[in-house]
Structure 1
Amino acid sequence: MGLTLKEEHLDFFLVPGGLLLMLGYHLFHLHRCLKLPDTTVIGCENHNKKAWVRKTLEVAAKDRGQAITVINSSISAATSLASISLGLSSLIGAWIGSTSHNVFISSNIHGNKSLSVVYIKYIALLSFFLVAFACFVQTVRCFVNANFLISMPNCEVPASHVEKEVIRGSNYWVIGLRSLYFATNLLLWIFGPIPMFVCSVITVVLLHYLDRNTAPLPQFKTLPASHNSQKNGKEMTAVTSANDRRERSDTVEPEHLASI
């Protein structure tokens, strides 16, 4: 007796296959981040952020305005992504409560078109958007705490405390982005299991290329004080020269008009 693969059975093979492919890659990437962080982009970024925190805390609290601006930019980006995730979750939740699902039971979609599978698509997609929202909110919390520590006046803040908050916020950011990647694949499941599986394969190939780091980790060295003073002296000289030229032009112009 030969087995015939019906169209309704595609969802039971391709969708779990695509999800397992994505999950397997991220477990492999997590192993690399923990054991060989130098070979991953995440490990390189964490190395740079730790160096940034150490160099930031070497200056006085009143001179850390640029560092606070960097943290605020990260907070704004995380807030925007959290708002987008929450908005899409609300839209999907409202769609689940509605009674019109004809767009997902179209004859042009290959796969299982039963109402129960449609609800599973909705709930799975909603779950990943909610996970992304929660992760971005935690990112904002960690960066706000790091902002408080960096801007604390008349106090020597341990660098390990600030590094912990910055790295933790970055990890939540990464998890939120990966949840959006999963949500994108599940979004294509609405149009059938075949687009979802193809998107999973393409996503894994692209992430495997983008997550690798082949360059050596940069070593950051503090510039000598003479270099900074020389640079500031050149800037002051340039400003002084510009002011002198402006003053000479202001004095020459009235004499020229008087002679006329």
Structure 2
Amino acid sequence: MEWRKYYLDMMLVPVGFLVTVTYHVWLWHKTRTEPFSTTIGINAHARRFWVTAMLKDIEKKNILVAQSLRNLIMGSTLMATTSILLSAGLAAVISSTYSIKKPLDDVVYGAHSEFMVALKYVTLLTIFLFSFFCHTLSIRFLNQLSILICTPQDALSLVTPEYLTEILEKGTVLNTVGNRIFYSALPLLLWIFGPVLVFFCSIAMLPVFYNLDFVCGTVKPKINGNGTDFA
């Protein structure tokens, strides 16, 4: 390989991907240390009380529980279906003998050799497969929860509210991880047209992620006579 052909891809694409990874590591740290400053932490706090509230009067709220879990499962199913369809399309492109790089030679910055084109599609295929894997695991946990949450609660039951909360948390966390992996593939889709777009798209997505992940002011829980609430 000649450096003059690959230096843009070797510099801009890893930097753009590293920016996205660094942001999510920082988000994970903020969620662990200051959970009420992020929407992920607030939602996790609310889900723990949701399970307990539904179990208190499950006979009257069973339809609400079924609809809520169905919506979560449908969201994960949609993302899993999208990921596997994109993976199948990329696998078909990789295995095809048709050279798709020729029409793009004049508009692509950076390397566009056969090796680089194959690397782009294999990278996208791997990311979409990981997203599919996370979403299918999320569906598995949510389906399990939809059955166990309606089981009778007694002193000898192993299906406790804490156990159900843990299952719900695993399902929603896997759904979130699958979505973020899917979003990280969007800048890499532009890699087909060159590494410059990958870098700028990764930078442009940071303020979007920040506005979605963080609340305007830090929300602190307060204790009142009726239980725990948010200030």
TM-score of the aligned structures, taking structure 2 as reference length: 0.87
Comparing 204-213 with 177-186, greater Cα deviation is found at 204-213
SS at match of 1:164: helix
2:145 paired residue number: 146
SS at match of 2:130: helix
Contact 1:37 1:43 in 2 (8 A): yes
**What are the Cα deviations for residues 18-69 of structure 1, in whole angstroms up to 9, with x where unaligned?**
0111111111111111222111110011111111111001114464221121
Equivalent AA in structure 2 for residue 111 of structure 1: G
In structure 2, how many angstroms separate the alpha carbons of the residues matched to 1:8 and 1:42? Answer: 39
SS at match of 1:127: helix
1:120 equivalenced with 2:122 (yes/no): no
1:134 paired residue number: 133
1:164 paired residue number: 166
1:183 equivalenced with 2:185 (yes/no): yes
1:51 equivalenced with 2:83 (yes/no): no
- With over 3 angstroms needed to count, the CA separation of the structure-2 counterparts of 1:208 and 1:167, relative to structure 1, is same
In structure 1, how many angstroms separate the alpha carbons of the residues matched to 2:178 and 2:34? Answer: 22
1:97 paired residue number: 95
In structure 2, how many angstroms separate the alpha carbons of the residues matched to 1:181 and 1:110? Answer: 23
Equivalent AA in structure 1 for residue 96 of structure 2: S
Task: Give the drift of 1:219.
Answer: 7.0
In structure 2, how many angstroms separate the alpha carbons of the residues matched to 1:221 and 1:136? Answer: 38
CA RMSD of superposed structures (Å): 2.2
- With over 3 angstroms needed to count, the CA separation of the structure-2 counterparts of 1:220 and 1:167, relative to structure 1, is farther
- With over 3 angstroms needed to count, the CA separation of the structure-2 counterparts of 1:200 and 1:138, relative to structure 1, is same
**What are the Cα deviations for residues 217-248 of structure 1, in whole angstroms up to 9, with x where unaligned?**
5779999xxxxxxxxxxxxxxxxxxxxxxxxx
Task: Give the drift of 1:204.
Answer: 1.7
1:238 paired residue number: none
Contact 2:101 2:112 in 1 (8 A): no
Structure 1, gaps ≥5 residues long: 224-260
1:35 equivalenced with 2:37 (yes/no): no
1:173 paired residue number: 175
Between the two proteins, what is the percent identity of the paired residues?
29
In structure 1, how many angstroms separate the alpha carbons of the residues matched to 2:153 and 2:214? Answer: 41
- With over 3 angstroms needed to count, the CA separation of the structure-2 counterparts of 1:193 and 1:207, relative to structure 1, is same
Comparing 16-25 with 150-159, greater Cα deviation is found at 150-159
Q: Rg bigger for which structure?
A: 1
Equivalent AA in structure 2 for residue 142 of structure 1: F
Equivalent AA in structure 2 for residue 209 of structure 1: N
Contact 1:61 1:153 in 2 (8 A): no
TM-score of the aligned structures, taking structure 1 as reference length: 0.78
SS at match of 2:193: coil
Contact 1:139 1:168 in 2 (8 A): yes
1:242 paired residue number: none
